[in-house]
Amino acid sequence: MALDEFKAAVYEGRLTDAISNVQQRPLESFNSHTLSIAITGESGSGKSSLINAMRGLCAGDEGAAETGMLDTMREPMVYPDPILPGVTLWDLPGVGTFYFPLDTYCERLNLSQYEFFIIVGSQRFRSDHARLVREIQRMGKRFYFVRSKADVDLDASRRQRSSSYNQERILQQIREDCRRGVAAEGVGHPQVFVVSNREPNCYDFPLLRQTLQTELPSLKRHAFLLSLPAVASRIVNQKKADLKGEIWKTALFLCLLAAIPVPGIAFLCTFFGFRKHLFQHYSSFGVDDRSLSALAHQVGEPVRELTAVMTSLGTTPMMALKLLLDSVGAAMMVAEYSWKRLPVFGAMVSGGVALVTTYFMLRKCLASVADDTQRVLSKALEAERENTV
């Protein structure tokens, strides 16, 4: 229902309404949404074991993920979370193996299809982890970093210096190492959990479960926001297709203006006619100056942040003039030239040239304004996501 309202607002060029529709939705309303969580990380780090532990299962239990030292996993496997509603846990193959080298891992596993990530590492923070963090950040998605096998580190440390052994200090050192690594990739508040998949009641495991449960509505909202640019893109393209039918009429009108047999007046009429048409597009898609200011205000961004992503023809008269000179102007010169020599035939030919040229130019304008609308909306939605991190 809320999505229908969003779509209608985008179609009608009411971009502020589209955004406020999302802003006003209470967090609880996202409870019914789903969330696909990808568990990724280096091979053998304990991804499958983490999923088993989160589901309250042990290796070998019925329905448990396969674990072990052999690198046999080739396809992602999906498991439902038994407690968190709508959550699916995706067990991904390990990164950096013969079959899944780091360089092609993200594309081959199509990481963009997942909405949230848990990166699992069982050693120090490494370049593989950094690469995954960067990729997830690039997609505008969120993640937790889970450092597994804490029991192994604690055992080793206890054996090495039993007299000065301090469990909490060692756990803190591991947390700090991971936090430093994640933060170095530009993550503001790294969420790091040090766990043992063999002892799900110890260390940060209970906190991991609790944090995921508490943050679930906001993670679902974030995932929903991330899905909106694709929805908006479909709607804007639909509107573009619907408006295409009108273009012939406008082209014909502009060509009639261009045919006024007083050269200077013809040019001015065509110029202002064209400019008016361009402005109509900007305002019907909701990216005219006034609408952009309102939208920028609503998402708390300076308006230049929104206009910076607009690559289309611009709303300024000078831009309109340039376009006109590029296309209609050329056709009009043909018209004026042939008018003098072959009054009837020349006028028909040049009229046809002008009509076709103008038609394609107007189509280009429409496509550019539609593309701009998608970029502006994506930018506004990105700002909205960042506002609620």
Ligand X SMILES: Nc1nc2c(ncn2[C@@H]2O[C@H](COP(=O)(O)OP(=O)(O)OP(=O)(O)O)[C@@H](O)[C@H]2O)c(=O)[nH]1
Choose among ligand X, Mg ion, none what residue 209 binds, the Cβ cut-off being 5 to 8 Å by kind: none
5 lies in the site for ligand X, by CB under 6 A: no
Task: Kindly report the backbone phi and psi dihedral angles of residue 53, in degrees, each rounded to the nearest multiple of 5, phi listed first.
Answer: -65, -40
Contact assessment for residue 228 and residue 180, using Cβ atoms and an 8 Å cutoff = no
Task: Kindly report the backbone phi and psi dihedral angles of residue 45, in degrees, each rounded to the nearest multiple of 5, phi listed first.
Answer: -80, -15
Of 91, 105, 83, residue with least CA distance to 37: 91
Percent helix, strand, coil in the chain, to 5, is 60, 10, 30
Footprint of Mg ion on this chain (CB under 5 A)? Answer: 47-48, 73
Choose among Mg ion, ligand X, none what residue 350 binds, the Cβ cut-off being 5 to 8 Å by kind: none
Choose among Mg ion, ligand X, none what residue 175 binds, the Cβ cut-off being 5 to 8 Å by kind: none
Contact assessment for residue 53 and residue 205, using Cβ atoms and an 8 Å cutoff = yes
364 lies in the site for ligand X, by CB under 6 A: no
273 lies in the site for ligand X, by CB under 6 A: no
191 lies in the site for ligand X, by CB under 6 A: no
43 lies in the site for ligand X, by CB under 6 A: yes
Choose among ligand X, Mg ion, none what residue 149 binds, the Cβ cut-off being 5 to 8 Å by kind: ligand X
Nearer to Mg ion, 16 or 48 (CB): 48
Which three-class secondary structure state does DSSP give residue 194? strand
DSSP conformational letter for 28: G
Contact assessment for residue 284 and residue 13, using Cβ atoms and an 8 Å cutoff = yes
**Which structure tokens are listed for 80?**
């439902």
Nearer to ligand X, 46 or 190 (CB): 46
Choose among Mg ion, ligand X, none what residue 196 binds, the Cβ cut-off being 5 to 8 Å by kind: ligand X
Nearer to Mg ion, 21 or 48 (CB): 48
Contact assessment for residue 53 and residue 200, using Cβ atoms and an 8 Å cutoff = yes
Q: Is the dihedral of CA 262, 264, 265, 269 positive or negative?
A: positive
Q: Is the dihedral of CA 170, 171, 173, 178 positive or negative?
A: positive
Nearer to Mg ion, 45 or 315 (CB): 45
73 lies in the site for ligand X, by CB under 6 A: yes
Nearer to Mg ion, 44 or 190 (CB): 44
> Which of 7, 18, 30, 47: binder of ligand X (CB under 6 A)?
47
Segment near ligand X (CB under 6 A); pick from 15-23, 42-50, 265-273, 310-318: 42-50
Nearer to ligand X, 119 or 313 (CB): 119
Question: Given the DSSP bridges, would you call strands 87-91 and 77-80 parallel, antiparallel or unpaired?
Answer: antiparallel
Binding pattern for the stretch 77-116 against ligand X, x by CB under 6 A and - elsewhere? -----------------x----------------------
68 lies in the site for ligand X, by CB under 6 A: yes
Segment near ligand X (CB under 6 A); pick from 5-13, 61-69, 244-252, 363-371: 61-69
Residue 59 CA, distance from chain mean position? 37
Alpha carbon distance 93, 95 (integer Å): 7
Binding site for ligand X (CB under 6 A): 43-49, 67-69, 71, 73, 94, 148-149, 151-152, 196-198
